């Protein structure tokens, strides 16, 4: 079946530190891959996406590359800011459908 | 343009009652999906409606149901509430293409069951 394994949190980093949040998945076919972010008190927002192997999604300094051979979609940012404090969700789309299946989320706290 | 609107934002019910949550999608979007978010289980897919038809369904008991109207607005209903139904219920809308396309989420309806 479909499943997502996401790096356990919480993660606490100092401002300007490098961020990696690991995500691997199990799915049939080659699903589109998404990272969503949930800021405190808000709904989920799309952070970035990749729809085929070797695609790199990027937004707001965050990047993730669709690695078909390792079924991974790790999220990275070179220099985090306090405003990046949020919960991050890795979410492949179910192949042949319109719904996403989510990881457990990783809470990131960035301290000044 | 307006985003996804969910009402009510907060509500408190007691065990055995039922609840109806509403979702208005972004204008032009024909697909509405519902998710349950809890600290223990994370985000779990409930069901998706497209053009008034349920197109996909997650692994939830029959107490959870939904529908979609001709204007694409959707409601979900939970009957015979249990304590474990306490959660944030998120609605997401999209144009409805399968395999691709972004889902846009509302801020959620937070249900507390006492």
Tell me whether strands B10-13 and B31-38 are parallel, antiparallel or unpaired: unpaired
Q: Which of A42, A101, A105 sits opposite B45 (nearest CB)?
A: A101
Contact A43 B94 (CB under 8 A): no
Position A54 confidence tier, pLDDT thresholds 50, 70, 90: very high
Q: What is the largest CA-CA distance in chain A?
A: 43
Does B44 contact chain A (CB < 8 Å)? yes
Contact A97 B107 (CB under 8 A): no
- Residue-level pLDDT at A97: 76
Q: Is the pLDDT of residue B26 over 90?
A: yes
- Residue-level pLDDT at B1: 61
Q: Average pLDDT, whole number, for chain A?
A: 92
Calpha distance A64→A73 (Å, rounded): 6
Calpha distance A29→B89 (Å, rounded): 29
- Which tens digits make up the pLDDT trace of B43-66? 999 999 999 999 999 999 999 999
Instruction: Determine the residue of chain A that is closest to B103 in CA distance.
Output: A46
């Amino acid at each position: 079946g479909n499943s997502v394994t996401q790096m356990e949190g919480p993660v606490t980093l100092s401002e300007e530190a490098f961020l990696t949040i690991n995500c691997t998945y199990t799915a049939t076919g080659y699903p589109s891959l998404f990272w969503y972010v949930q800021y405190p008190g808000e709904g989920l927002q799309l952070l970035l996406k990749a729809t085929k192997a070797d695609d790199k999604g990027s937004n707001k300094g965050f990047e993730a590359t669709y690695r078909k051979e390792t079924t991974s979609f790790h999220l990275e940012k070179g220099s985090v800011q306090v405003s990046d404090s949020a919960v991050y969700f890795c979410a492949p789309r179910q192949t042949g459908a319109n719904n996403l299946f989510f990881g457990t989320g990783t809470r990131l706290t960035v301290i000044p | 343009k307006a985003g996804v609107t969910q009402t009510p934002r907060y509500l408190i019910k007691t065990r055995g009652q039922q609840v109806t949550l509403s979702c208005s999608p972004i204008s032009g979007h024909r697909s509405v999906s519902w998710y349950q978010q809890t600290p223990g289980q994370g985000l779990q897919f409930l069901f998706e409606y497209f053009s008034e038809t349920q197109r996909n369904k997650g692994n939830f008991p029959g107490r959870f149901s939904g529908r979609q109207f001709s204007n694409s607005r959707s409601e979900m209903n939970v009957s015979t509430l249990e304590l474990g139904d306490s959660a944030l219920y998120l609605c997401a809308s999209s144009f409805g293409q399968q395999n691709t396309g972004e889902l846009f989420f509302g801020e959620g309806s937070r249900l507390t069951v006492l």
